[in-house]
Amino acid sequence: MNDRDLLQAANDIRANAYCPYSNFPVGAALLCADGTVYTGVNVENGVNGLSLCAERVALFKAISEGHRDFVKLAVTCDRPHCQPCGACRQVLSEHAPELEILMGNPHGEFVRTTIRDLLPETFSL
């Protein structure tokens, strides 16, 4: 899957976001090494600590289906480019330390980076 297709998958799934508190829909599409794509959206809760970001939803869906080898993540929102939060960076770095990340917007524009660049000093046990 090329970058544009992965970004489009992230943009398309944004419509399913449940974000009545922030009104900030985020979509993510995670590409596994075997070509499988898992999508996710942010799901909010009145107790903010119980909310989940789109990136972690996509990753946890993939892990729950037995996938462990991840190549690329596209994440989109209504900003110039959508950056994973600190919690997502930590989770992504543990499960995919070589992950490429496309931080995009609904217009198809994006910035390419890696999880190592976003979180150079990850916490590990």
Residues classed as catalytic:
55
Q: Residue 39 has which token pair? A: 């999508």
How many angstroms separate the CA atoms of 125 and 41, rounded?
Answer: 29
Q: Residue 72 has which token pair? A: 């690329």
Which amino acid makes up residue 40? G
Residue 74 CB contacts under 8 Å (≥ 6 apart), including other chains? 3, 6, 7, 9, 10, 28, 29, 31, 101, 102, 104, 110
For residue 110, the surrounding DSSP H or E stretch is: strand 110-114
